[in-house]
Amino acid sequence: MNTAEIIDRLKGKRKVILTHGNSDMDAIGSAYALRNAFGPADIYAPAGVDRVARMVADKLEIPILDSADLGDYELVVVVDSSSPDLLQNPDLTVPPNSLIIDHHAPTGKWEGMDFHCDDTRTSCCEIVKDIIDDAGIEIDRSSGLALLGGMLTDSGHFQYADTRMLRAFADIQDRCGIPMDEAMLLVRAPMNMSERQAAMKAIGRSKFDKVGDMIVAVSYGSSFEAASCRALLASGADVVFVGSQRDEEFRVSARATQEMVRRGIKLDAIMGQLSKETFTDGGGHGGAAGMTGVGDAEAMIHMCMMKTMDEFRKIKAAMDAQRAS
pLDDT single digits (tens) 100-129: 999 998 888 999 999 999 999 999 999 999
Name the pTM for this structure. Answer: 0.80
Q: Which pLDDT score is estimated for 149?
A: 97
Report percent pLDDT > 90 for the chain. Answer: 73
197-218 burial, b for 16+ CB within 10 Å, e for fewer? ebbebbeeebebeebeebbbbb
- The fold for domain 194-324 equals Diaminopimelate Epimerase; Chain A, domain 1 (3.10.310)
Whether 191 shows a pLDDT value over 80: the answer reads: no
Instruction: Round the average pLDDT of the chain to a whole number and report it.
Output: 93
Say if CB 196 and CB 59 are below 8 A apart.
Answer: no
- Domain coordinates of the chain in residue numbers? 3-186, 194-324
CATH code for residues 3-186: 3.90.1640.10
Q: For a pLDDT cut of 70, what percent of the chain falls above it?
A: 100
Lowest mean pLDDT among 31-35, 156-160, 173-177: 156-160
- DSSP assignment of 280-314 equals -EEEE-SSEEEEEEES-HHHHHHHHHHHHHHHHHH
DSSP states of 184-197 as a string?
HHHT--PPPHHHHH
DSSP 45-105: -TT-B-HHHHHHHHHHT---BS---GGG-SEEEEES-SSGGGG--TT--PPTT-EEEE-SP
Q: Which of 178-182, 220-224, 266-270 has the highest mean pLDDT?
A: 178-182
pLDDT (mean) for 206-218: 96
Per-residue pLDDT for 265 more than 90?
A: yes
pLDDT reading at 222 higher than 70: no
Quick one: pLDDT at residue 176? 98
Quick one: pLDDT band at residue 297, thresholds 50, 70, 90? very high
Residue 82 reports pLDDT greater than 80: yes
Question: DSSP 3-state assignment of 159?
Answer: coil
For residues 236-249, one letter each, b for 16 or more C-beta atoms within 10 angstroms of the residue's C-beta and e for the rest, the string is: ebbbbbbbbbeeee
pLDDT of 63 > 90? The answer is: yes
